[in-house]
C-alpha cells in the first residue's frame, strides 16, 4: 500500500472515531499500521498519527481525542519492546508527544506518568541524546507545576460567596494557566464559574462556545445554560440542557441540577401557555415552582418571574399576593416602567376592596406606689452622697409614731367608759353639746405632758360665781391611770382618764417594724452585673415593676428579655381580650405574655427556641402559680407551628433588637430567619387558625396589616401605658370587635 493511499484511509477519520467503540478504534488502528508495511513502522505511524491529531485538535473534540490518545498509547506499549534495542530515540520522542497531547487537554496525571516512563527508559538505555532528555524533563516539570497551581485554584474556587476582587484574581490566574492546557476541563470550570460570579454572562457564553467543550462535562453544560438564561436566551438554554441529558445519562449532583434546569424551562413555558388560556391558577402554580426549583444568577430574570406571577394573581383577584409579587419585581428591577405601572394599578384595585380598619386607643396605667417609694429611697441616698443632711425636725417627725385608740389594746375600755360618761351626763340634764367644763386642761398641753412624762393639769372655775380668772392646779397622773380620750365642749378640751390595764402579751412597737409593713421585700440597690455596663438597658431595669409586679419574688430574666418582654399591664389586657380554650404563644421569651394568658385561658402552648430562656420562663410561671396550665416546647417556632392545633395564636416575634426602625416598620423588615419574614409568618399561622393576635411596634403600617387579609376586617389597638404610646396590637378573625 502506498503512502498516498494510507493518508486517505477512512478508519482514521475523526467522524468514525466518535461513532464506533473504543475496541473498534483499537482494531482499526492496528489494522492500519499492519497494512502500511509488512511489519510495524514507527515512522509511518507517527506521520499518520500527526494528521489525525491535527484534525481532532482543530475540531476541539475532547471525547474523540481521549479515545485517540488511548489507542495511540496502547500501540506504543505493544511495540515498545522491539524498538528499545533498535531505535530508542524515536520511541521516546513519540512518548513525549503523547504526554504533551494529554497536557494540552489538561490530563496532567497521565502526562506525568508517561514522562516518568520516558525518563526511566532513557536512563536505562544510556542514550546520548541530551536534547530529548531536556525536553522530557522540562515538560515533566511543567506538568508538576501546572498540576499544583490547578489544585490551588480548584480549592479557592470552592469557597462560598467570595468577594468580587478574589474572584477576579482567580480568573486572571486561570487565564494564565489556560495557555499551557487550552482544553483543560477543570480550568474551564474555574473560568466559567468566575465569570458567572462577576455577572459577565456574555463572556461566559463566548468562552464555552469557542472551546466547544459544553457537551463534554455536566458542570460546563450547567454554567453555559445559566449564562444563556441570564442573557435572556431561556429557550436555547433549555435546549442545550435537554440535548446533553439525552446523550450523557448520569445521576451525579450536577446532572440533577441540569434536570432541575430542564424542569424549570418546561414549567416556564407551561405558565405562559396557561396565561394565554386565562388559566391563572395554573400559571401561578407553575411560576411558584419555577422560583423554588433553582437559584437565579440574574435579578432581572427573577424579577420577570415575579412580575408574571403578580399579574396572574391580580387577574384572579388575589390582591395580597399580587402586591407582594409586584413589589418584589420592582425591587429587583426598579428601572422597568411596566412593573411600576402594574404595581400602581394593583394598589388602586386593592384600595377599592379594602375594608376599613377598626382602630382603638387603649390607655393603661400601672400602680406606681412601689416605684415612688423606691425613687424616694434613691433620692435620699443621692442626698446623702451629695452631703445633704436632713434637719433634726425631719428626723424627729419621721421617727414619731401615732397610734389611734382603735389600734390600742385598751380600745374596749375606752369605748365603754365613753358611753357610760355620756349616759350619766344626759341623766344630769346635759346633752352632747353642753357638757360641763370639768377635769382637765387643753388637749395640746395634755399631749405635751404625756410625751414629756409630766403630770396633767386640770382646770377649775372659781366657785364664787364672780367670773374671776381661772386658776390651774397640777394633778399628778398615777401609774395605774391612762388618758383614754379627749372631748371638746364649749370651746374647751377635756381628758378622759381610765384605769391602766396590762396587755395580755408583750407588745413592742418600733419604727423599723412599722416601715416594713409598707414594703414587700428589700429592693436591691444596683441592677444585675450584666446590665450595669449597658446604659440602654438600665431604663428597662428601672421599669422592672411594670414588666413584672412580682419582680421581687424571684423573677428571672436574661439580657434580651429586658427589652423584649411585654409589660404586665399590656399582657393582662391582651389576655383578657383573647380568653379562650387553647392559645399558642409562639415566641414565649421569659414568659411575660404566657403567664397572663394562662390566667385567662384553659391551656397555653409556649414555644421558645432558647433552652436557657425557657427555663427562666418556667420559673417565672411558678412564681405566678400558673405552671400547671402551660405546655412548654423548646424548638424553632417556624418548624413547630404547622404541627400545632389551637383556638388562638399569639405572635410576638423579635423586632430586630434595640435598633429597629421606629419611624416606619414593615413586616418585610421583620426577618424571623433568613427565609421567613413577618408576612410569611402570618401566612403560616393562618393555616392553623384565623384567630391571630399580632404584637407589633407602634410604627407598623396599618395598611400592611390590612393587606394580610384584604377581604376581612382587622382590629388594631394602639396601647398607651402611663400616658406613652407603646405598641400596636392587631387582632384577626373572631377576635375582631363587632
| pLDDT score for 130 | 60
Answer yes or no: are the C-beta atoms of 584 and 650 closer than 8 Å: yes
Three-point CA angle 223, 309, 204, nearest 5°: 15
The CATH code for residues 3-152 is: 1.25.40.10
489: nearest Cα among 437, 440, 443, 439: 437
Answer yes or no: are the C-beta atoms of 119 and 137 closer than 8 Å: yes
Checking 140-148 for CB contacts under 8 A at 24+ apart, the result is 140/112, 140/115, 140/116, 142/103, 142/180, 143/99, 143/103, 143/108, 143/111, 143/112, 143/115, 144/112, 146/103, 146/108, 146/177, 146/180, 146/181, 147/108, 147/109, 147/112
| pLDDT score for 122 | 63
**Phi then psi dihedrals of residue 293, to 5 deg:** -65, -40
**Residue 576 to residues 435, 697, 731: CA-CA distances in angstroms?**
59, 20, 13
DSSP string, 629-696: GEEEEES-HHHHHTT---SEEEE----SGGGS-SS-B-TTT-BSSSS-BHHHHHHHHHTT-S-EEEEE
The per-residue pLDDT for range 167-176, each reduced to its tens digit, is 787 777 777 6
What is the DSSP code (8-state) at residue 386? T
| pLDDT score for 143 | 65
45 CB burial (10 A radius; 0-12, 13-18, 19+): buried
Q: Would you state the cell numbers that stand for residue 110, as one nine-digit string? A: 497521565
Which runs of E-coded beta strand occur in 250-305? none
| pLDDT score for 536 | 75
Cα–Cα dist 81/75, whole Å? 11
| pLDDT score for 4 | 38
| pLDDT score for 363 | 84
| pLDDT score for 581 | 92
**Phi then psi dihedrals of residue 488, to 5 deg:** -95, 135
CB atoms within 10 A of CB 378: 13
Answer yes or no: are the C-beta atoms of 607 and 584 closer than 8 Å: yes
| pLDDT score for 156 | 72
CB atoms within 10 A of CB 77: 11
**Phi then psi dihedrals of residue 683, to 5 deg:** -65, -35
Considering the domain delimited by 535-735, tell me its CATH architecture: 3-Layer(aba) Sandwich (3.40)
| pLDDT score for 155 | 73
Mean pLDDT by 10 residues, the chain (738 residues): 37 43 51 52 68 65 69 72 62 73 71 69 59 62 65 71 76 71 73 80 78 67 78 74 67 66 77 84 84 67 83 80 84 79 74 62 68 50 56 50 49 70 71 50 46 41 41 44 52 53 42 35 59 76 88 89 91 93 94 94 94 94 94 92 93 82 79 86 93 92 83 87 90 83
Cα–Cα dist 417/436, whole Å? 17
| pLDDT score for 372 | 41
Which pTM was predicted?
Answer: 0.39
| pLDDT score for 732 | 93
Cα–Cα dist 397/678, whole Å? 59
Domains of the chain, by residue range, sit at 3-152, 535-735
Cα–Cα dist 656/671, whole Å? 8
Amino acid at each position: 500500500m502506498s503512502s498516498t493511499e494510507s493518508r486517505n484511509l477512512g478508519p482514521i477519520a475523526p467522524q468514525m472515531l466518535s461513532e464506533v467503540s473504543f475496541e473498534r478504534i483499537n482494531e482499526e488502528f492496528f489494522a492500519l499500521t499492519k497494512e502500511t508495511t509488512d511489519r510495524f513502522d514507527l515512522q509511518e505511524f507517527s506521520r499518520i498519527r500527526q494528521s489525525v491529531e491535527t484534525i481532532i485538535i482543530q475540531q476541539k473534540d475532547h471525547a474523540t481525542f481521549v479515545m485517540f490518545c488511548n489507542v495511540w498509547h496502547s500501540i506504543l506499549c505493544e511495540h515498545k519492546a522491539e524498538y528499545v534495542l533498535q531505535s530508542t530515540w524515536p520511541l521516546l520522542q513519540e512518548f513525549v508527544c503523547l504526554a504533551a497531547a494529554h497536557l494540552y487537554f489538561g490530563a496532567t496525571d497521565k502526562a506525568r506518568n508517561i514522562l516518568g516512563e520516558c525518563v526511566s527508559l532513557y536512563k536505562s538505555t544510556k542514550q546520548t541524546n541530551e536534547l530529548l532528555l531536556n525536553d522530557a524533563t522540562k515538560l515533566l516539570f511543567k506538568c508538576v507545576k501546572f498540576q499544583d497551581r490547578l489544585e490551588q485554584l480548584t480549592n479557592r474556587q470552592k469557597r462560598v460567596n467570595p468577594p468580587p476582587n478574589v474572584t477576579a484574581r482567580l480568573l486572571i490566574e486561570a487565564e494564565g494557566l489556560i495557555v499551557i492546557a487550552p482544553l483543560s476541563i477543570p480550568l474551564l470550570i474555574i473560568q466559567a464559574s468566575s465569570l458567572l460570579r462577576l455577572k459577565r454572562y456574555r463572556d461566559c457564553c463566548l468562552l464555552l462556545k469557542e472551546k466547544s467543550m459544553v457537551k463534554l462535562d455536566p458542570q460546563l453544560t450547567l454554567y453555559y445554560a445559566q449564562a444563556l438564561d441570564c442573557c435572556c436566551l431561556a429557550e436555547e438554554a433549555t435546549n442545550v440542557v435537554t440535548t446533553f441529558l439525552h446523550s450523557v445519562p448520569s445521576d451525579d449532583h450536577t446532572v440533577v441540577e441540569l434536570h432541575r434546569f430542564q424542569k424549570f424551562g418546561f414549567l416556564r413555558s407551561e405558565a405562559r401557555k396557561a396565561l394565554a388560556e386565562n388559566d391563572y391558577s395554573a400559571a401561578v402554580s407553575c411560576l411558584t415552582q419555577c422560583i423554588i426549583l433553582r437559584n437565579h444568577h440574574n435579578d432581572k430574570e427573577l424579577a420577570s418571574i415575579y412580575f408574571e406571577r403578580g399579574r396572574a394573581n391580580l387577574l384572579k383577584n388575589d390582591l395580597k399576593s399580587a402586591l407582594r409579587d409586584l413589589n418584589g419585581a420592582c425591587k429587583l428591577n426598579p428601572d422597568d416602567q411596566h412593573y411600576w405601572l402594574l404595581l400602581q394599578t394593583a394598589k388602586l384595585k386593592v384600595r377599592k376592596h379594602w375594608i376599613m380598619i377598626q382602630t382603638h386607643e387603649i390607655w393603661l396605667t400601672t400602680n406606681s406606689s412601689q416605684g415612688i417609694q423606691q425613687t424616694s429611697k434613691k433620692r435620699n441616698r443621692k442626698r446623702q452622697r451629695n452631703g445633704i443632711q436632713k434637719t433634726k425636725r425631719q428626723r424627729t417627725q419621721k421617727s414619731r409614731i401615732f397610734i389611734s385608740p382603735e389600734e390600742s389594746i385598751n380600745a374596749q375600755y375606752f369605748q365603754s367608759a365613753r358611753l357610760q360618761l355620756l349616759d350619766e351626763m344626759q341623766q344630769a340634764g346635759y346633752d352632747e353639746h353642753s357638757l360641763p367644763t370639768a377635769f382637765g386642761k387643753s388637749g395640746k398641753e395634755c399631749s405635751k405632758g404625756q410625751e414629756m412624762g409630766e403630770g396633767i393639769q386640770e382646770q377649775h372655775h372659781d366657785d364664787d360665781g364672780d367670773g374671776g380668772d381661772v386658776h390651774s392646779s397640777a394633778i399628778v397622773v398615777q401609774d395605774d391611770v391612762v388618758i383614754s380620750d379627749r372631748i371638746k365642749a364649749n370651746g374647751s378640751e377635756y381628758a378622759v382618764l381610765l384605769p391602766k390595764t396590762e396587755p395580755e402579751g408583750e407588745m413592742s412597737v418600733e419604727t423599723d417594724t412599722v416601715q416594713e409593713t409598707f414594703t414587700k421585700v428589700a429592693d436591691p440597690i444596683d441592677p444585675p452585673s450584666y446590665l450595669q455596663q449597658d446604659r440602654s438597658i438600665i431604663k428597662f431595669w428601672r421599669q422592672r415593676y411594670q414588666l413584672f409586679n412580682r419582680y421581687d419574688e424571684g423573677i428571672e430574666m436574661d439580657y434580651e428579655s429586658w427589652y423584649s418582654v411585654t409589660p404586665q399591664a399590656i399582657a393582662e389586657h391582651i389576655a383578657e381580650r383573647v380568653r379562650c380554650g387553647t392559645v399558642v404563644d409562639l415566641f414565649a421569651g421569659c414568659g411575660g405574655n404566657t403567664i397572663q394568658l394562662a390566667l385567662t385561658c384553659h391551656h397555653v402552648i409556649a414555644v421558645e427556641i432558647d433552652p436557657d430562656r425557657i427555663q427562666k420562663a418556667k420559673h417565672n410561671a411558678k412564681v405566678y402559680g400558673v405552671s400547671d396550665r402551660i405546655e412548654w416546647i423548646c424548638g424553632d417556632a417556624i418548624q413547630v407551628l404547622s404541627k400545632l392545633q389551637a383556638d388562638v395564636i399569639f405572635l410576638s416575634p423579635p423586632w430586630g433588637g434595640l435598633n429597629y426602625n421606629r419611624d416606619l416598620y414593615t413586616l418585610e423588615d421583620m426577618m424571623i430567619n433568613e427565609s421567613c419574614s413577618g408576612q410569611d409568618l402570618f401566612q403560616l399561622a393562618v393555616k392553623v387558625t384565623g384567630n391571630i393576635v399580632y404584637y407589633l411596634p407602634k410604627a407598623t403600617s396599618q395598611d400592611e396589616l390590612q393587606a394580610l387579609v384584604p377581604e376581612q376586617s382587622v382590629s388594631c389597638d394602639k396601647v398607651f401605658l402611663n400616658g406613652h404610646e407603646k405598641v400596636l396590637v392587631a387582632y384577626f378573625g373572631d377576635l375582631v370587635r363587632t
